[in-house]
Amino acid sequence: MEYGCFSTKLGKLCGLVDGGKVFYLDTLDVPEYRKHPQGSFIRLLEKELTEYLDGKRQIFSFKPVVQGPYSRRRVLEEVTRIPCGKTITYKELAVSAGIRSPRLVGRILSENNILIIIPCHRVVSVKGLGGYKLGVDVKKMLLDLERSMCGDGNGR
């Protein structure tokens, strides 16, 4: 396991990785994770995030490790299937994940602690953008970045 924090265009992010698996990527520095050294995989994660935020990377080599109750795992795993440049609504995600409540989906996404790699910013409200852990302005910026980088997810 490796842990480290680094600066990005979004501010400070901290990550916990083990080889090509990411367990945590969020803004909060977690003291108990500091026992893990900062190594080559954390530097690779930082490099890939920088490339993504510069519009030069669409896919990450890291795979998220989703933990927790079944409904949480199901929703977050379904989010990883949303293509770059495409968005779906909380309701559509609830249906595809087999969850009865779009509100539960929203709560699960608000607790996502593997930001960007699990692209919960691609889930929007039927009435607009909806919320985002890093703020609606960041959500809009990420969606605009992905549209310019990937089109609309349908090859356009």
Handedness of CA 34, 75, 142, 19 (dihedral sign): positive
Say if CB 116 and CB 82 are below 8 A apart. Answer: no
Say if CB 109 and CB 89 are below 8 A apart. Answer: no
Measured distance CA(152)–CA(134) in Å, rounded: 22
User: Which residue matches tokens 């977690």?
Assistant: 30
Measured distance CA(8)–CA(138) in Å, rounded: 12
User: Which residue matches tokens 């990005």?
Assistant: 8
Looking at 14, 84, 120, 150, which residue is catalytic? 120
Measured distance CA(117)–CA(110) in Å, rounded: 14
- Grouping H, G, I as helix, E, B as strand and the rest as coil, residue 155 is coil
Asked about 120 being catalytic, the answer comes back as yes
Residues labelled as active-site residues: 120
